[in-house]
Amino acid sequence: MRIIPAIDIINGKCVRLTKGDYSTKKIYNKNPLEVAKEFETYGIKYLHLVDLDGAKSKHIVNYKVLFEITNNTNLIVDFGGGLKSNEDLKIAFENGASQITGGSIATNNPSLFMEWLSTYGSKKIILGADCNNRKIATNGWLESSETDVIDFIKDYESKGVKYVICTDISKDGMLQGTSNILYTEIIDKTNIQLIASGGVSSIQDLEKLKLIGCEGAIIGKAIYEQKITLKELSKLC
């Protein structure tokens, strides 16, 4: 299972939110590159970089942070947040993203998302399936829908999607464990490569996700609040 630390960006700074609520913003480092370099020092190879300003603004904003990280580390970066147009996608890839995550776009403009999937291929386009009470949420989790997360994933799997990041918003930033029942159901009912996100609070949580069969696990606040050390993560890489 791939270990994928997360860096969320607001105003160019490394932050974390609780349940996606922007009013809960906590700044952990004013220099995201410094954080990324520390990850790399411990043998970490992957990074989940989220442009929270972009998610709110509905267009890419913090691409300069992406450029700094990809040009000064060897981390393999998947980038998400605010990717709503072909130009946004072009900017993300030109600034070093290896993959992009499209969530809101897959709900609100499925034809454009499918165009991206056809143009760039399933290895570069990750489906973002963020949900609350099993219902898909979009635009930085500020908007909700009536679409069931399993139905959403199965529909896009039938259209060629291979990788899915699923975040249970109720777990995100809570440090109270992951949505193992939901993830087990997704893995049982689909053949997608599932990247779990939200709620990781310990090495034991990661071990459970691996047993379930997740392809990757995203870790955020647990690192910043020192619930999991980078030394511990390095042993899993």
163 bridge partner residues:
193
Residue of 53, 78, 88, 130 with catalytic role: 130
Which string of b and e fits 47-56 if b means at least 16 CB within 10 Å? bbbbbbbbbb
- Are 102 and 116 in contact by the 8 Å Cβ rule? The answer is yes
Please, what is the end-to-end C-alpha distance for the chain in angstroms? 8
Kindly state the tokens that stand for 226: 């020192």
Rounded Cα distance between 78 and 217, Å, is: 13
Residue of 8, 51, 78, 172 with catalytic role: 8
Annotation says 205 is catalytic: no
What angle is formed at CA 57 by the lines to CA 56 and CA 63, rounded to 5 degrees? 100
Q: Which residues contact 121 (CB under 8 A, 6 or more apart)?
A: none
Looking at the chain, how many residues does it have? 237
Catalytic residue IDs = 8, 130
